[in-house]
Homo-oligomer: A and B are copies of this chain.
Amino acid sequence: MRATIITIGDEILIGQIVDTNSTSIARKLNAIGITIGSKLSIGDTAEAITEAVTSAMEQNTITIITGGLGPTKDDITKHTLARIFHSELRYNDTEGEHVRALLARRGIAFTELNRGQAMLPECCTVLHNAHGTAPGMWFETPQGGVVVSLPGVPFEMEHLMDDEVIPRLKARYELKSIVHSTLITRGIAESILAERIAAWEEALPHHLHLAYLPAPNIVRLRLSAYDVEGEVTKREIEAQFERLHAIIGDNIVGMEDASVERLCHDILTTNNLTLAVAESCTGGTIASKFTAMAGASHYFMAGMVTYSNEAKCDILGVDADLIAAHGAVSQEVAIAMAEGARRVAHADYAISTTGIAGPTGGSEAKPVGTVWMAVATPQGTRAVLRNAGTDRGQIISRASAYAIEMLYDELKKR
């Protein structure tokens, strides 16, 4: 079973936004056994939409479209789909009332343009958008396929995929499984890795497809199988990866894309442990990574973004003399911050970061990118110095990742 994903919007074609919708849709479709044949991004013109949708309908069974469903003149997806399916737009009372109520709650007047959002092609099944003003639409094609149109606002699209599209696709088609599994390796170049595992790769059965995905210091190995029996194939892939442990065991980090913060989240939750964070250069990024996960309130006691020296002293109880003697970016202050955070927040574990995110503030001894990180635990405190790069955004993101890795190492040791 194959699908085409079409994302509509000039903002994608001119590079004003990164298209994350198609990534999320691809993942959700793969998870129920639907293969993506291709992804296409086009502009907001009736010609481009008509050509892309009719050609997709001919090539694949399923077409998922996002974008162009807003209330303004540049939103033409709905009108174009109505023409493709030779259908008239008609006012849908239920959706109209929903939009009216939704806007009322936010104190916004219901206008003629909003009324237009409840004008829907007669021939489609309306997919109720509980979280926004643009409903989704489900069209049946003459070839026995479906064309689904969803709003481009990411979280509205996500909810509609989960609540409406995926259940309907599962009910409508008999789907086999797609299995992807990824093993993460560290500290081995792609070409060397390929040589080391050449015999293993050569012996893979034909239905398991291997892909190498390199990133700085990391190579991910993915095995994929399409149109298979899920459970059997999962076990088969597990067994194949198991063999790699004998060949490159020291370089294996783990499986899939489970983030290190998610691994920490799980350990903290399961063991009723608590966490506090004291951030200087990472400026709240570590706290926001944890608190983005539902359930974080069970263990996340407090995060303190102590940017100024005064805040480090007043909030975390760092000794001002320590800062004067060693500077704010130092092992001593990183340790005092982590220990202060742990004490102030009554937490079992605490992470701290203090560094120079740039672009200014660097020196020869402590160039931009210098970051001290510490983890305070019930067993003691450990600090590490890293250089996190040269670009402010990169430094914040790498330093956050390094610090969360340090916490994970400590949590694993328990």
Taking Cβ atoms with an 8 Å cutoff, the residues of A that contact B are 10-20, 22-28, 30, 35-44, 48, 52, 70-75, 103, 105-106, 108-109, 111-114, 130-131, 133, 153, 155, 158-159, 178, 180, 182, 189-192, 194-195, 201, 209-214, 222, 224, 257, 274, 276-277, 279, 282-288, 290-292, 294-297, 300-308, 310-311, 314-315, 344-346, 357-361, 387, 389-394, 396
Contacts and interface: CB of A to CB of B under 8 A. Distances in A.
B302 A304 contact: yes
A98 to B, nearest CB: 13
A357 to B, nearest CB: 8
B308 A302 contact: yes
Given A14-B180, A18-B20, A294-B360, 10 more contacts: A11-B222, A14-B26, A19-B23, A38-B40, A71-B190, A109-B192, A133-B191, A283-B303, A305-B305, A314-B345
Interface of A: prevailing SS: mixed
A306 to B, nearest CB: 5
A110 to B, nearest CB: 8
A292 to B, nearest CB: 7
A36 B20 contact: no
Contacts of A41: 22, 38-40
Contact of A284 (B27, B178, B287, B306): B287
A27 B40 contact: no
B113 A194 contact: yes
Nearest to A195: B111
B155 A393 contact: yes
A356 to B, nearest CB: 10
Given A13-B36, A26-B14, A345 B70 contact: no
